[in-house]
Amino acid sequence: MIELLFYKRIPVSRSSIFYSLVHYKDSILGFGRKNYEGHIRKIKVIGLDDNFNIILEYLEDLRGEDPRCFYHKDKLYVVDNYCNDSYLIDYDTKRATKIPLSGKNFVYISHNNTLYIIHTMVPLSLYIFDIEQNILIQEYRSKEKSNKEYRGGTPAYHKENNSYYGFGHRTYNSNQGLTHDLYYWEIDFNHVPPALTITDIVQPANSKTICDPTSIIRIKDQDYLVTAESDYPWSREQDYITNVYTIEYIPDPIVIIPIPDKPKKTWKSYFWSLFHKKSS
């Protein structure tokens, strides 16, 4: 069972949203959409300490919006998560490689030096992408009926053996209007084809109506989830929030089923058993 506990809000600049955090060399970098007003396609880069305080704002911007970030083959990649026109940006060289897939919010899994991309969660549509050769191959597509409510969020993070985990967002209409809820997922490559498990979770007590997960970062043996939140759908004048939650892994309760005692033998039952044996 997963429980998310509010830790703090990161005071990023106004109208700046969707910050993804990652360790880089001896620092922590954050990549965020620079401005939600005016549809400016720029990614802002900030530096943070290990308590999520902003200590540096880089002058250089990257091209893109709603970024994610992950490592593959020891290289840091920043995702320009623009709908129908996404790119992977090598942070060190700034080389951008177009991802030939429609949509956005893909899930990136670096497994055994192979980059997998989850295009859709339901059905599970899984691709292999060779960045150097710019070759995309569909690896697997499950047969479930399409459910577009479940969308991507964070990249994949290694759990154990050949399994990975992350958070996504579920988009639907509720009494509050358009709603984005967090959900938890795991994918296990020990199975052929890989097995994906999606789990709806209890939303954090103080989370907003729109709550999208962007990244997970471990600091001093504690895992944190970073989110992009707002009271109303995007692209309007409002307070855009970057929150941090601790991720608490709570073991599922073990249900103990008592074993009934064996019935005690009485003289009556004893003679009845003897009679039953003779008669049979």
pLDDT in tens, 120-142: 999 999 999 999 999 999 999 99
pLDDT for 253 equals 54
d(CA 116, CA 138) in angstroms, rounded, equals: 10
Domain total of the chain = 1
| Sheet containing 96-98: order of strands | 68-72, 75-80, 87-90, 96-98
C-alpha closest to that of 65 among 252, 235, 280, 179: 235
CATH at residue 248: 2.115.10.20
pLDDT for 261 equals 52
With beta carbons less than 8 A apart as the criterion, state whether 210 and 153 touch: no
Q: What is the pTM of this model?
A: 0.88
Mean confidence (pLDDT) of the chain: 90
Residue 35 has pLDDT above 70, yes or no: yes
With beta carbons less than 8 A apart as the criterion, state whether 32 and 46 touch: yes
258 pLDDT tier (thresholds 50, 70, 90): low
DSSP 259: P
Residue 235 has pLDDT above 80, yes or no: no
Burial class (CB in 10 A: 0-12, 13-18, 19+), 59: exposed
97 pLDDT tier (thresholds 50, 70, 90): very high
Please tell me whether residue 157 adopts helix, strand or coil conformation.
strand
- Which residues form the domain of 12? 2-279
pLDDT for 38 equals 62
The residue with greater pLDDT, 22 or 267, is: 22
